[in-house]
Structure formats: C-alpha cells, structure tokens
Structure 1
Amino acid sequence: MSGGVANVTVENVRIWESRRGVRIKTAAGRGGFIHNISYRNITFDNVRAGIVIKVDYNEHADDGYDRSAFPDITGISFNKIHGRGVRVPVRAHGSDIIPIKGISFQDMSVGISYKKKHIFQCSYVEGRVIGTVFPKPCENLDIYDEQGQLVKRAVTLNSTEVDYDI
C-alpha cells in the first residue's frame, strides 16, 4: 500500500483453505494512510491466519523511497467474524513508529485448530473489543459490553499477547 486507502467495506465473504484470510500490509517508506476499513460478516474455514495487519513489509521497487514516510493506520473494524479450523485468528502487529489505532472487534467467534500459546496476537495496537469475542483478545484492547459501556481499560499499547492454554 502506498498513497492512501479509506472508507472501504468488505462484507459477506467466505474464505477457505487459505494461508491468509484478510490482510493489510504496509511498511515504513510507504507513507499515506489506511483509514476506516470495515470487515463484516466474514467466515473463515481452514485458514492459517484469519486477520493479519503488519507494518513491516519492507518490499520497495527500488532504494529511492522516502524512509521517513510512515503510513497512518486508523479505524479498522471487524464485525461478525466467524470460522473454524483457524490457527491464528488475529495477528495485528504495529510498531513504535507505525501503531495501529482505532481497531475494533465485535461479535467474533473463530474456532482454532492449532494448540499454540499465543493465538490472538497484538503489538502496538490501540482499540476496543465490543461484546463477545473468542478467542480471548489481547490485553492492550479496551473491553466494552454489548451496550457500549466500558468494562475494562487496556493494559498497554505495545507488545502484548494473550498467553493461555488450549
């Protein structure tokens, strides 16, 4: 991604037998913005990584890119995300210079197929979980109930992963 992408809705999609479900990838040197992207009614079936947002894809056409151009990632929402046979439901990795801001998860239930300790992965992510989300989300997300009332404030913005046995 270079330049800017905003106000995009992806809905009513089934993804099966895939390495990645939905993915946003960018890096330093790309610049621009990724704003107000909504994913709704997405179903995963036997997908290795369901939701992936990463900011360290350092692929550039040549060495002439602006190393100080950092993308702004704000307002990514996931609602009605379901599935089965997913190894890693969420892998959202921002960085100290490119944080992921305003991410939200609502009505999510993704059955996992891989018994690994770190399933829902986040780093340098700020946002919220609304209502029921499975598996357990990262601690660096605010928790809200179905009525939109704050239940628990996030622990930290940077590097946390949920550690639990399955």
Structure 2
Amino acid sequence: MAFGSEMSGGISEILLEDLFLHESHLGIEVKTARGRGGYIQNIFLSDVAMENVGTGMKATAYFDTHPDDDFDPTALPVVSNITFKDVIGTNISIAGNFTGLPESPFTSIFLSDILFSVLPDPTIPQWVCYAVIGFSSNVFPEPCPELQSPISIAIM
C-alpha cells in the first residue's frame, strides 16, 4: 500500500483500516521527493497485519528521480501527522525506514501498539531514521530515537 510520488497538490485526510499484506517487498509506503512540493498529512492507518514483508513501514523523501530536468528543487514536500496504530507483522526484514529531507523533515509521526517479528540479521538495521520527528508507544522492536520524542515535541 503506497501513498505519494506524484503529489504536487497533496494527499490528506486518509483512513486505512483492516489491511492484510503478505509476500511483499514493502508493507506501507509514503513516498515523495525534492521538487514534488505538495503535502502528505493527516493519514491514519490501523489494524494492519503483515506476513513475509521486506520493510514494514517506509516513508521516504528520496523516491526516484524527478522526470523533468527543469523541476524546482526548492519545491519541498511536507509530510506530517501520520499515525500507524495496531500493526503486527511476522517475518519482517526491516521494521521501519523513515527518511525525510534535512530542510523539510517529516514531523508528527506516531507509532502505537506495533509488534514486528523481525528476521535476525545483524547486517540489516531494524530501523532507519533520518530527518524525522515522532512519538512511539508500545512498539517492538524499539524504534530509533527520532521516533521516541516526547509528544509535545513530536507535534511541532
């Protein structure tokens, strides 16, 4: 399940519930890139089950290259207020990868009641985080520090 890529206008006010994903490279993905502009905000995902998935949750501001050489590199995407709640997964390679832009970090990313059975491989990180601010509660494996901010900071 993916949100984004071509989103110069924006994506908002999405509710996704009761989803089962299996045998997939990605579970849930939010994707955008520099030059796209627009926003992805106010997304609520709950009651999601995954089985045999590469990366359980991914949000990236580095999706692909822009198809037009004349794109505006100052058109930065805004990604905020994304909630993942009641998510379980078995045989997951990477729990989460949240990678924003330094000049437009992802904000208000909320993770709640998430349990992933991550495949044991010391060469693969369980979480990848960069330019993201969020809050988590009852998440296993424990997310990166960027997703453990006090809720007052995460809502910025």
Shorter-chain TM band: 0.7 to 0.9
1:122 aligned to 2:139? no
Give the C-alpha shift of residue 115 in structure 1.
1.7
Structure 2 length as normaliser, TM-score? Answer: 0.87
In the alignment, structure 2 segments of 5+ residues that lack a partner are none
For structure 1, the residue ranges without an aligned partner over 5 or more in a row are 155-166
Secondary structure at the counterpart of residue 17 of structure 2: strand
Equivalent residue runs for 1:13-162 within 5 Å: 13-116=19-122, 118-130=125-137, 132-142=138-148
List 4+ stretches of structure 1 deviating above 3 A. none
Q: Judging by fraction of residues, say which structure has more helix.
A: 2
Q: CA deviation at 1:118?
A: 1.9
2:34–2:76: 8 Å Cα contact kept in structure 1?
A: yes
* Equivalent residues of 1:44, 1:50 under 8 A apart: yes
Q: Which amino acid aligns with 1:45?
A: E
* Aligned partners of 1:28 and 1:58 also within 8 Å: no
Matched residues in 1 for 2:147 and 2:116: separation? Answer: 18
Q: Deviations over 1:136-161 (max 9, x none)?
A: 111123367xxx8x8xx89xxxxxxx
**1:58 Cα shift?**
3.7
Percent identity for Structure 1 against Structure 2:
29
SS at match of 1:96: coil
Larger radius of gyration: 1
Q: Give how far 1:63 is off.
A: 1.2
The answer for the alignment partner of 1:10 in structure 2 is: 16
Q: Cα RMSD between the aligned structures?
A: 1.9
Q: Deviations over 1:14-61 (max 9, x none)?
A: 100000001011011000011111110111100011101110124323
